[in-house]
Chains A and B, each alone.
Chain A
């Protein structure tokens, strides 16, 4: 993956507008968060291959990180903390946020075909 380029990501987000799109969205601080630090809580959420359609998509920059919001017909999807992106050869838009140690904090991915189980 490479550091987010706003224009390129926006173009690729636009590509998915008004299509049936498979979404992968996750955020996590790891299964060992409270094992390694008593004061921490384990937190995570994960959706894979949910099928949605959105009519607006926007990337926003805030300091070092980015947010992406998708407006669905009857709701919203957004992800915060994104740092890197990639458009794969098979047209999957991958967005991810990595911490200083390169660990994944958040991921938002869009595809017209299902993600591998």
Chain B
């Protein structure tokens, strides 16, 4: 059994769309889970429908939604304080050292993050890469295992199939609860998958009932 799981993603809602079922699975086993959330998604485009957020109020709204989602998932939340869409321009070594400090304090047995270069959003790629680097810099005897999540359209051709395929159907309702806690984002994102209204629930269930991860190999 895992001792402690740390999830590192850049945006409020990445945890819910990406790993909520897996997180719930760990929580049901009594494993502590900490979410290190990179930004407040300050630059999000979804402002609610009809829009109830604006560019200046969005950060506080998303902070509140993030806290609510973390309550649904029963995880400990730590906000890293970066700004949405700018992580790739930060000094990578600095971000990695920031994360390393936190990981050394928490001492997780497992870290879940995005797979660098195969995670579509520049923030996903940058924070995933910094997270992998942070773990690499840790004392080899204390390194947690890293599960990396690839979501780009081309990853299978390049890096193959993920080693871990988690069927999370049993926790699907909790996952949807966490997703819907992100009210300013959720409906907009869910809508873009399946434009035909009547199929939306089925399509989402099919898409979101499996969570897949690569096990990162450190070669050094």
Please list the residues of chain A having a beta carbon within 8 angstroms of any beta carbon in chain B.
1, 24, 26, 28, 30-32, 35-36, 38, 44, 46, 84, 86, 88, 92, 94, 96, 98, 101-105, 107, 109, 115-117
Contact = CB atoms under 8 A, between A and B. Distances in A.
Interface of B: 43-51, 54-56, 59, 83, 85, 120-123, 152-153, 188, 191-192
A44 to B, nearest CB: 8
Nearest to B152: A35
Given A88-B56, A94-B55, A117-B83, 12 more contacts: A1-B54, A28-B43, A31-B85, A35-B120, A38-B153, A46-B43, A94-B54, A98-B51, A102-B46, A103-B45, A109-B56, A116-B56
Contacts of A96: 51, 54-55
Given A102-B46, A102-B48, A46 B55 contact: no
B46 A103 contact: yes
Given A35-B120, A35-B153, A101-B188, A86 B54 contact: yes
Contact of B121 (A31, A98, A103): A31
| Chain B CB within 10 A, most for which of A28, A46, A88, A103 | A103
B166 to A, nearest CB: 22
14 contacts: A26-B43, A28-B43, A31-B85, A31-B120, A31-B122, A38-B153, A44-B85, A92-B56, A96-B51, A102-B47, A102-B48, A103-B188, A104-B44, A104-B47
A103 B52 CA distance: 11
Q: Which 3 A-B pairs have the closest CB atoms?
A: A102-B49, A103-B45, A31-B121
B126 to A, nearest CB: 12
A92 B54 CA distance: 12
A104 B54 CA distance: 9
Contact of A107 (B48, B55, B83, B192): B55
B55 A103 contact: no
Contacts of A103: 45-47, 188
B47 A98 contact: yes
B128 to A, nearest CB: 14
**Residue with the highest number of chain A CB atoms closer than 10 Å, among B43, B50, B153, B188:** B43
A88 B56 CA distance: 10
Of the listed residues B48, B51, B85, the one surrounded by the most CB atoms of chain A closer than 10 A to its CB is B51
Contacts of B123: 31
A49 to B, nearest CB: 12
Contacts of B45: 28, 30, 103-105
Contacts of B44: 104
Contacts of A1: 51, 54
A96 B44 CA distance: 13
Contacts of A38: 153
Contacts of A92: 56
Contacts of A26: 43, 55
Given A46-B85, A86-B54, A36 B49 contact: no
B56 A115 contact: yes
Contact of B51 (A30, A102, A115): A102
A117 B49 CA distance: 26
